């Protein structure tokens, strides 16, 4: 198994480190345009392998030659979100970056599965799918895993319980219109709507929607990377080990949930072929309306792209 991570910033480098620590590949390649950065970080990660007892070759490169014949490509490249910057503000710059990264990666690894982490996530997933020409099951966006992880952490803290016993679903676009689903979010199988007041649930839902910008506002000059990298690696692990996990991921919809021609987060089964199945859960009228609105927000952003 060979995995390439494009972008050696905080998200990309941490993703590479987690891939190596979990020994999910024989070789991990870190690609970045800035000379010396991917080489230095790859060397540093590689020098930790004797301590972590992980026999993984780690390579850093400014070209895509070393990435040839990758099984999975994780795209994290792009500018980071800054205070006062909406996800839409990122779109024009990052779409060009993701396009060039996808073109270069696909030329070297035409059989790869692509996982997109760059923001605005749903639109960048569309860009990667469109540019690559891949079938939709081979281009998946990491969003719902991260948003659900944030929701789960907030629920666990509120109830003072282990995060292991908390499950949560967050669908829709990775932005202000995301759709956390309290009805499908549980603690040891008990819906959180039976454990928390409506006011508390509403507060946690809002904090989940604002999860990314809350971190940006604290960091001032950066954005989240520990949880995003963990979320991307959870997707990689399900694919590499053919675990068939059901995870909320961004994918191109063609009629599922009554939605078409847009990328939006829904529950999917991840296995060795990539996105192997879209799981359609029953939504009530309010949830369906919220998902439709979120999908329309993404669709309207996609319509502004020049691809």
Instruction: Give the DSSP per-residue string, 146-192.
Output: HHHHHHHHHHHHHHT--GGGEE--EEB-SSTT-EE-GGG-EETTEEG
| Average pLDDT taken over every residue of the chain | 95
- Residue 263 β-bridge partners: 252
Residue 288 has pLDDT above 80, yes or no: yes
Maximal C-alpha separation, the chain: 55
Which pTM value belongs to this model?
Answer: 0.95
Contacts of 293 (CB under 8 A, 6+ apart): 177
Position with higher pLDDT, 175 vs 288: 288
Give the integer Cα–Cα distance in Å for 86 and 223. Answer: 13
pLDDT for residue 203: 98
State the Cα–Cα distance between residues 173 and 263, nearest whole angstrom.
Answer: 8
- C-beta of residue 267 within 8 angstroms of C-beta of residue 182: no
- In angstroms, what is the C-alpha Rg of the chain? 19
174 belongs to the catalytic site: yes
Give all domains of the chain, ordered by start, each with its CATH number. Answer: 2-141 (3.40.50.720), 144-302 (3.90.110.10)
| Helix 211-219 × helix 198-209 angle, to 10° | 60
Mean pLDDT of 175-192: 95
User: Pick the catalytic residue: 137, 174, 209, 269?
Assistant: 174
pLDDT score at 81? 66
Name the nearest CA neighbour of 99 among 71, 72, 78. Answer: 78
Query: Using one digit for the tens of pLDDT, what is the confidence trace for 116-164?
Result: 999 999 999 999 999 999 999 999 999 899 999 999 999 999 999 999 9
Angstrom distances, CA of residue 117 to CA of 64, 129, 131? 18, 13, 16
Structure tokens of 212? Answer: 């990314």
Kindly report, residue by residue over 19-49, the tens digit of the pLDDT: 999 999 999 999 999 999 999 999 999 999 9
Give tens-digit pLDDT for 258-285: 999 999 999 999 999 999 999 999 999 9
Both tokens of 177, joined, read 């219109």
């Amino acid at each position: 198994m060979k995995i390439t991570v494009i972008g050696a910033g905080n998200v990309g480098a941490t993703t590479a480190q987690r891939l190596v620590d979990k020994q999910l590949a024989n070789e991990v390649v870190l690609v970045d345009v800035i000379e010396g950065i991917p080489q230095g970080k790859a060397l540093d990660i590689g020098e930790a392998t004797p301590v972590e007892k992980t026999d993984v070759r780690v390579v850093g490169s400014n070209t895509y030659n070393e990435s040839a014949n990758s099984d999975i490509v994780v795209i994290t490249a792009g500018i980071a979100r800054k205070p006062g910057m909406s996800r839409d503000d990122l779109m024009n710059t990052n779409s060009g970056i993701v396009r060039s990264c996808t073109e270069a990666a696909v030329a070297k690894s035409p059989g790869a599965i692509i996982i997109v982490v760059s923001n605005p996530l749903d639109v960048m997933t569309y860009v990667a799918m469109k540019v690559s020409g891949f079938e939709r099951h081979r281009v998946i966006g990491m969003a719902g895993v991260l948003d659900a992880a944030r929701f789960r952490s907030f629920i666990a803290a509120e109830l003072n319980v282990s995060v292991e016993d908390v499950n949560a679903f967050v669908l829709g676009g990775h932005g202000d219109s995301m759709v956390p689903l309290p009805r499908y979010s549980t603690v040891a199988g008990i819906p959180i709507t039976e454990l928390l007041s409506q006011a508390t649930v509403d507060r946690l839902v809002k904090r989940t929607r604002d999860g990314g910008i809350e971190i940006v506002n604290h960091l001032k000059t950066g954005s989240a990377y520990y949880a995003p990298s963990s979320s991307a690696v959870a997707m990689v692990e399900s694919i590499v080990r053919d675990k068939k996990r059901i995870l909320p991921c961004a994918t191109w919809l063609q009629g599922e949930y009554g939605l078409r021609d847009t990328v939006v987060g829904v529950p999917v089964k991840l296995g060795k072929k990539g996105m192997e199945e879209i799981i359609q859960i029953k939504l009530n009228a309010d949830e369906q309306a919220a998902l439709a609105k979120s999908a329309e927000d993404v669709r309207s952003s996609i319509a502004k792209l020049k691809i």
